[in-house]
Amino acid sequence: MRKNMITLLTVIALAILVSCDKDGEEAQAPEQKQDAAETTPGGPTVMVSADKTHAVQPGDEITLTIEVSGFTLDPAKMDQANEDGVGHYRIYLDSASGEDYLAQGAENTTKVTIPETITDGSHDLRVVLHNNDQTPLDPAAEGSVLLIVYRL
């Protein structure tokens, strides 16, 4: 009982901390959370939002909405010769890269299953743009969503 109460209080404290930004103002609701794209000025941009960002459980299926500008997502051209400004994305967890991706695609909405081996705490779900030949853009163009994982 005591262990459950401590866990519950920890989760509540974490939720309160996450719901406030650094200035103490309320953050956007989780379903509206959208992180700014990380890219070189003037290059392609990626915006990502998720239907669930808090209280994420191992095995959960999360729906991502992906918006790009300055780049065309085209599933028919995956594994084809490169065409400037055309390609797809890969979705990575935290610092993963290369072939260690959770999913790839070229649709504006996709589902990602959170690995059963994920640890409790904060994690970044990153969407990285790739060329048709599977190489990442150079300079990189990516967006991310912060996930808060804790087991109930």
User: Domain residue spans in the chain?
Assistant: 28-149
pLDDT at 41: 62
pLDDT the model gives residue 151: 82
Residues 37-64: tens digit of each pLDDT: 444 467 999 999 999 999 999 999 999 9
How far is residue 75 from each of residues 22, 39, 65, 100, measured CA to CA in Å?
39, 22, 16, 20
Helix (H) or strand (E) holding 130: strand 121-131
Q: What CATH number labels 28-149?
A: 2.60.40.10
The type of residue at 96 is: A
Give pLDDT, residue 152: 77
Which residues 6+ apart lie within 8 Å of 130 measured at CB? 87, 88, 89, 90, 104, 136, 137
pTM to 2 decimals? 0.74
